[in-house]
Amino acid sequence: MAATAAPEAATYTITAEMLTAERFAPFGQILGLEGQERLPIDLYPNVDVFRPALIHADTDIEWLLTRTGIREFRLLFLERHTQLAQAFIPLGGTPFVSAMAPADAREEDGFPALDEIRAFIIPGDCGIQINAGVWHEPPFGLVDGSLQLITSHQALTKGLGTELNERREIAQLDVEKRNLTERTGKVLRISFP
């Protein structure tokens, strides 16, 4: 008796959007000059100061430094953290893509509905800060070996370092990381305009 191959997962595609403050507003803030007003701090000549976002955290914040290689533009997981608004800041001017769904996204099969997931192209001259609870995948580098500074906290960092459970997920400390294909049987890819 011949073995039957597992059915191929249905593939869905979302198109990455160029980052604008208006498009990104449901998810967080852009850490850049777009839409910012200069603060009235005039202590030095030729130094302008802006406040692109307030930092929200229920615990002490730490920085993580990630080096990102080029990987397949396919979402494997979406994760969220409720104790901080997480920032992703490129170093060296390298752009990246960030995929996410709103904190209050409608869920199907215990995963944010695919039509609620969006992807943004983050240029290398700014970063982003996502609101606490926003579902997201770690950055997709557009340049091999690109570096990003990411805000975290000790429980979050420790949670991300734990082993995946039987569903290939993490659900402890301040990490809720869900596996797209395990939960939905589908594949979600990112395309470019």
One-letter identity of residue 183: R
Q: What is the pLDDT of residue 7?
A: 59
2 located within any domain? no
137 located within any domain? yes
CATH code of the domain in which 30 resides: 2.60.120.480
1 located within any domain? no
Q: Which domain holds residue 73?
A: 10-191
93 located within any domain? yes
104 located within any domain? yes
How many domains, the chain?
Answer: 1
CA distance 182 to 34: 39
91 located within any domain? yes
186 located within any domain? yes
- Tens of pLDDT along the chain (193 residues)? 555 555 577 999 999 999 999 999 999 999 998 788 899 999 999 999 998 888 888 889 999 999 999 999 999 999 999 999 999 999 999 999 999 999 999 999 999 999 999 999 999 999 999 999 999 999 999 999 999 999 999 999 999 999 999 999 999 999 999 999 999 999 999 999 9
4 located within any domain? no
